[in-house]
Homo-oligomer: A and B are copies of this chain.
Amino acid sequence: MAFALLVDPVPATRPAGTFGPTRRVDASAKEVSLLDLGVLRGDGCFETLAVVDRAAQEVDDHLDRLASSARLLELPDPNLDQWRAVVREAASLAPDTGEHTLKLVYTRGVEGADRPTGWAHLGPTPDHTRARRDGVSTVLLDRGYPRDIESDAPWLLVGAKTLSYATNMAALREARRRGADDAVFTSRDGWVLEGATSNVVIRRGGVYQTPPPESGLLHGTTQRAMFRVLADRGARTEYRDLRVSELMNADAAWLVSSLRYAAPIRAVDESPLAVDAEITSLVNESLAARRL
């Protein structure tokens, strides 16, 4: 079960209900122009949402981030009512049960046309049971930047989820070459940033901690959901900058992302970390149960 919905993005000011229908096509249909700046220059942004039993998760947070990425890229503001309708339509077409992946793509469009391109596609989510339960091994990889780069040099687009993602993919290959499952990016000045495609959450002294989004990383929708789950159970959560040594010496740590949820980090550069199976499964069951 996989398909795509082609979207004709309308200005943010256009009122709900006045934009045209999507067009449903095969997921791998050739529908992108050879001159689309999304492919020629990675010039666009995306979001990846989990759809569980036909319910799209964290829709508002994902759409807010899409809008924020577009702003950093100076793309026209996406019409969030339109995208919300697209998400609703795609989710409604998903199978009744199971985990699916919904990707939203919003690019600068065909060179010279001055009109963004958009589409959504939905397909099955790979089985993440094992990573969620047994955890993932990680290596630390230098992101090259100091932690405060985002305010210093906004043109580096550190806070935007752009289609220029080749480095994230190269980091995953490097991790696998070193025999690990995933990568944790560190700043040039020794701070923990984020995973290659996830956020880092650690627990120390009973407090769940993650680096603040303004510290050169993407604010995670699932990290936020995990913090809400934990706070609801009375746990303390906190945004603070984390030294690499604090990750290495954490009582427990996770890589958190939309599709894999909370995957315990069981090793950092071959140094083992304890897996808290109880909290992990509690968090992941709560994340899977979200129906809003």
Query: Which size bracket describes the interface of A in this complex?
Result: 35 or more
Interface check A32, CB cutoff 8 A: yes
B188 contacts A146, CB within 8 Å?
yes
How far is A43 from B172 in the complex, measured between Cα atoms in Å?
Answer: 13
Q: Provided the pairs A144-B144, A166-B163 are in contact, do residues A38 and B39 lie with their beta carbons within 8 angstroms?
A: yes
Interface check A149, CB cutoff 8 A: yes
Copies of this chain, tallied across the complex = 2
Q: Provided the pairs A141-B155, A152-B142 are in contact, do residues A33 and B29 lie with their beta carbons within 8 angstroms?
A: yes
Interface check A105, CB cutoff 8 A: yes
Which chain B residues lie closer than 8 Å to A174 at the CB level? 154-155
Which chain B residues lie closer than 8 Å to A165 at the CB level? 40-43, 164
B103 contacts A40, CB within 8 Å?
yes
- With both beta carbons as reference points, the residue of chain B lying nearest to A35 in the complex is identified as B28
CB distance from A274 to the nearest CB of B (A): 28
Which chain B residues lie closer than 8 Å to A153 at the CB level? 141-144
Q: Provided the pairs A33-B28, A33-B32, A141-B153 are in contact, do residues A105 and B40 lie with their beta carbons within 8 angstroms?
A: yes
- With both beta carbons as reference points, the residue of chain B lying nearest to A120 in the complex is identified as B34
Which chain B residues lie closer than 8 Å to A142 at the CB level? 152-153, 156
Which chain B residues lie closer than 8 Å to A156 at the CB level? 142-144, 167, 170
- With both beta carbons as reference points, the residue of chain B lying nearest to A110 in the complex is identified as B28
- With both beta carbons as reference points, the residue of chain B lying nearest to A163 in the complex is identified as B42
Q: Knowing that A74-B170, A160-B166 touch, tell me 16 more A-B residue pairs with CB under 8 angstroms.
A: A28-B33, A28-B35, A32-B33, A36-B39, A41-B169, A73-B166, A74-B173, A142-B156, A144-B149, A144-B156, A145-B188, A154-B170, A155-B171, A162-B166, A163-B164, A164-B165
